[in-house]
Amino acid sequence: MSTTPSPTDTSIRRRSFGIFNRSTASAESLSTNGNEDGLVMKSRPKSFFGGGGHGNNYFVQEVSASISPNGTLRSKIHPSKISSRPKSMFGSFKARDNSIDSSKSSSTTSTESSNPAEVSKVIVYCGEALSSGGLLRRKKEYFVLTDSELLRFKTQQKAIEALGYSENLCARSTTGRTASFGSIHDMTTIRNVVTPLSQVIAVYQPKTTFDLDGNSNYLTIDYLDESGMTASTTLQLPSIQEATIWLVNLTKATYNAQISTDTTEITDELMDYVARRVEAEKDYVPGHFKVFRVVQRGGKSPYYKSGSADDLQKMYSSAAILAIGYHKIHIIPMPKTQQGRSNSLLSQTSGTSISHGIMTMTQLAMANIDDSFYLTFRFPCRHSITYNLASARVIEIVQSIRQRAEYLRPNYHIPPYTLQIPDHLLDSTLDPIPEMEIEEENANFERTLVAYCMAYNVDASNIAYGVFHEVEDGPQFVLSPPVNKRRKTYTDLEILAIFRALRWNESFGSISFKGVILDSLQNIFDPHGDEYEVRYLRDGTKFSLSGRDSKNCLLIQELRGLALYSTKLRRMDFSMCSSRKRRNSGDFQSGQNDDEGCGFVEALMPLCRRGLTNVDWFNFTGIELVEADLDWLVDAAATRVAHFRGFEMARCGLTERMLTLFLQALAAHENTLECIDICGNPGRLHAPYLNDMMMYFPFLRKLSLSRLLLTNGSHPLLSVEVLFRWRLESLDLSETHLNEQSIDAIAAYLATDQSDALHHLNLTQCGLNARDVAVLMHSMSREPGVARDMHLFVSQNQLIKHHDKLLDCIEGGLTPKRLTMRMVDYQKEEMFRELIRAVTWNNTLELLDISKVSLPFEASKETCMAIAELFEKNNTLKELDISGEQAVLETAKLGLGLNKALGSLANNTSLEVLRIELQSLGNSGAIVLSETLMKNRTLRQLYCERNGINLQGFSAMVNALENNTTLLYLPNMERDKLEHFKRVKESFAHLSGSPKPGSSPNSAAKAPSTASVLKSGLRRRSKTTNAITDGPLSPSASASRRVSFLETPKLSRPAIGSRQLSTLTEDDAGVSFAGVATQQDAERLAYILEGKWKAEQERLAGFLLRNNGLECAEGDMGY
């Protein structure tokens, strides 16, 4: 007799049979030799994205029944009904071969027999039940479950007659009749097979509520019928206990039958159909694609409480395909078939596919007792959607989804979704998914970002970012503006995808959102879910941060998650990330109240106050802070747990009171604070008070007091006592007036060893004269002729006063390695010429920026000769900037004489970077530069845009790169191209006959006749010449040269090393298009020029790519 497990026995739950144990033991009997609960254990496949599903990967513990003395079940089914294993697991059962030997039957255990009608089967369970089909006609039948099929008979006696004597069949006889069974008609058909277990899609209880344990006496079996269409059979058992026993045995036997077969589950035609649907969602990646047959269970609502038989009829189900793609989960309806109808409640339509990103999954639940499972998805700021599904391969499905989610989110320690599966599946190790290609740097972040973009239906290619390693607290992640130039900001979903991809990321030491507007998320709340709320620490401990609102906006939520869960992150840059600007007190352009705060400070400071984040360097430059923000700052700064290292709060609208309170609160971090930047704030400070505050921070490395408002007085901005406490690396006092006491204090500091680490000193627009600069140079110089490693900025100061003092320092080699002195207004050209001669003999400067120098007139011949001498004789200067300036009210340039001086660059052996923009070089200057590039082999970067260079000059420079393999950068002259087109249009407007302002009516009347003559001349020349001539043209070919512009050029990229000389002369490319007289001609001319410019730009890109490749190769070889 078989033992009946107790319904309260936890072993009947799925967790007790979810793994198939490998065993070589002999078959055990349900009645005598089985284990206590008679369960067959099943195991998860070794790999869900590998081969899987073969018999050698799973071992089935056979459960034998006490049957006839010879140990076999003698089937009395007609031989035509006996079939070998079908070609496909889900294939058709229409044709059953009469001649197939019984040893090739689908039965798991078979014995050799000479009679083809004798088939060896193992009876797993049997009993009476009410069954219902497509029209819900219920009838009482006797069901027999073997290890390969589910059979039905009218009565137990019929089953014994068909299958032979069996103790199991006799033991299941009923002694009474339940009232709910009722009378049924006799079964008239001889077809006893309900379905082979290999064709079962799912076995589940038709629950109307979300229940993982099951408490119903109904049982539904969905399968493929003989015609290949889906069918369904519902069994009503006498009790919940009996239904549980049937459910356990059915799911075990079905799983055993399907994983032990070596046939394919999905046909090729169906696979192609699914692949097309998935590919339409841009989610098809070969090798990362998994397909399962499932049943999508319907109903009024997941929380529908009624459970009557009428309601069960409304719980329709539909067969579908569950496809697990690379980024999404797809529920695809079955395709329409041309076969006959099936008695089924299952829908046979091929409607619209349902696709959800794996990153939007919020729940993955699996029933403990049947094949049902639940998937819940939620798009940001929307209600969640739950799908009630069932499949005999539920274990593989659940583990495959988990595997894909962990692959797309490899750094998440706490996944943002609820997982309700048996414990033995939770503890099992998921096999890694094979990579498509060699992993690149930051591949995990890239993979997660693309997955979130796919889930949120945004274009990942529009997101631009960079990773920089040679920075402090690197590697540094820098988010750039969108790739799409028509959009200045990212959308809310794009920002959300970026934040959630960066969460739990351990690749970056600092993150910069500089210039990217983020405060749009401050006004967005998500009341429909909290899976991304910060509720747990990294170790899983639950905690909460008290705030003003019970529900935080998305900006605060994402910033907290980013700062809390990234342990490597030390620095965050939010400069210029807020769009709100203060008009007056308490009034913001964005309409926000003064009490709301910016959101950035509120999100991060509570974490710092409790020591829950390693971020201790913040940049809030350009964000308007209010009193509410100050409260968060002061509260966090008052505790040492925050261990702040740096605050950059330039142009934050801090008043005198706010600055005072903030500096006082920072005193608690005297041993950790390294950077303070409070420049550009409207608060006016008293110098002695500022010195008192700065005395608290002896470990400062970077200090910025630019554009600081000070009260009147003779006190130094920074006293000697304060400066001597620091070993500064950067000091920025630009646009802050420095009195004599402040200059003396700085000079005294530069003369001591405490300033040896100072590499950046910015004194731009501080009211200095040349003598003050000379004093500083004398102080910083340790030894004449030995350059100090420092960049000194003294731009926009009165350097013409005591100019000779500065010249002596420069010529004597007292300058640092880098000197910037822009926008110096020389009233006499001789002073500038003396500066050039002093630089010529200097042997310490490596970088000199004298751009935007203003002279009373264009540079004379003597001055240009001095510049030429600088190029020839100076052998220490590596970077030089002599760019001009072109503004509405003022223009600063050296003039055309500079072109001749540039010829001396050919003999220079030290200069690597030359900036010479906005100097009106024209085509003649471009020709000189091209000749220089043919000879010079030390120049690496040449910046020469906006010099009025047209196509001829640009082509000459590109041609010079044919044999130059050392130049790494040359602009593509895009701005010069636009200026060129503008001049062409102006020339056309002049030649079109339109009267000029102030011209006489007679001259205006003559213009049309002139245009018509030019037009007719153009037509005559077009008939005789239609080719573009390469190379210099003879005078006799002048007419054909003009006509050549009407031919469309080839825009294909030429091979590197090919030589293409433009046919345009300066007159052709400028204004002398005498044959162009109509608007159509002008448009064709513009098209021709655009093509030629593009061709030259492509040639330039090819040459530069070649040179950079050679440079990298030499660097790898150690040259």
**Rounded Cα gap, residues 89 and 303, in angstroms:** 35
**Rounded Cα gap, residues 154 and 139, in angstroms:** 9
Q: 722: buried, middle or exposed (CB in 10 Å: 19+, 13-18, 0-12)?
A: buried
CA dihedral 905, 909, 915, 917 (to 10 degrees): 10
pLDDT value for 435: 61
Amino acid identity, residue 1095? A
Question: If you average pLDDT over every residue of the chain, what do you get?
Answer: 77
pLDDT value for 1045: 28
pLDDT value for 473: 93
**Strand blocks (E) in 913-988:** 913-915, 941-943
pLDDT value for 887: 67
Q: What phi-psi label fits residue 911: left (phi over 0), alpha (psi between -120 and 50 degrees) or beta?
A: beta
**Rounded Cα gap, residues 255 and 148, in angstroms:** 10
Q: 48: buried, middle or exposed (CB in 10 Å: 19+, 13-18, 0-12)?
A: buried
For 256-309, how does the pLDDT look when each residue is reduced to its tens digit (9 = 90+)? Answer: 888 877 544 678 888 889 999 999 999 998 888 899 999 987 644 333 344 444
For 370-390, how does the pLDDT look when each residue is reduced to its tens digit (9 = 90+)? Answer: 899 999 999 999 999 999 999
**Average pLDDT rounded to a whole number, residues 582-594:** 48
**Rounded Cα gap, residues 886 and 78, in angstroms:** 100
pLDDT above 90 covers what percent of the chain?
Answer: 47
Higher pLDDT, 152 or 1065: 152
Instruction: State the Rg of the chain over Cα.
Output: 42
The C-alpha angle with vertex 283 and arms to 280 and 287, in degrees rounded to 5, equals 125
Structural tokens at position 400: 């495959």
For 3-18, how does the pLDDT look when each residue is reduced to its tens digit (9 = 90+)? Answer: 444 433 433 333 333 3
Say if CB 765 and CB 796 are below 8 A apart: yes
Say if CB 328 and CB 360 are below 8 A apart: no
Q: 3-state SS of 13-45? A: CHHHCCCCCCCCCCCEECCCCCCCCCCCCCCCC
SS3 state of residue 813? coil
Q: Rank 224-233, 455-464, 879-888 by mean pLDDT and report only the highest.
A: 455-464
pLDDT value for 137: 67
**Rounded Cα gap, residues 1081 and 1088, in angstroms:** 11
**Rounded Cα gap, residues 819 and 794, in angstroms:** 8
Residue 891 pLDDT level (bands cut at 50, 70, 90)? low
- Among 48-57, 736-745, 881-890, the minimum mean pLDDT is found in 48-57
Structural tokens at position 695: 């005395």
pLDDT value for 965: 93
The C-alpha angle with vertex 100 and arms to 97 and 105, in degrees rounded to 5, equals 100
**Rounded Cα gap, residues 358 and 958, in angstroms:** 50
For 309-320, how does the pLDDT look when each residue is reduced to its tens digit (9 = 90+)? Answer: 444 444 567 889
pLDDT value for 32: 33
Pairing of strands 328-333, 354-357: antiparallel
Residue 1073 pLDDT level (bands cut at 50, 70, 90)? very low
pLDDT value for 191: 56
Higher pLDDT, 310 or 727: 727
**Average pLDDT rounded to a whole number, residues 1031-1049:** 33
pLDDT above 70 covers what percent of the chain?
Answer: 71
pLDDT value for 493: 96
- Among 197-211, 626-640, 863-877, the minimum mean pLDDT is found in 197-211
pLDDT value for 265: 63
**Rounded Cα gap, residues 1119 and 1114, in angstroms:** 5
Q: 1078: buried, middle or exposed (CB in 10 Å: 19+, 13-18, 0-12)?
A: middle
CA distances from 690 to 198, 670, 755, 761 (A): 83, 15, 21, 20
pLDDT value for 316: 63
Residue 713 pLDDT level (bands cut at 50, 70, 90)? confident
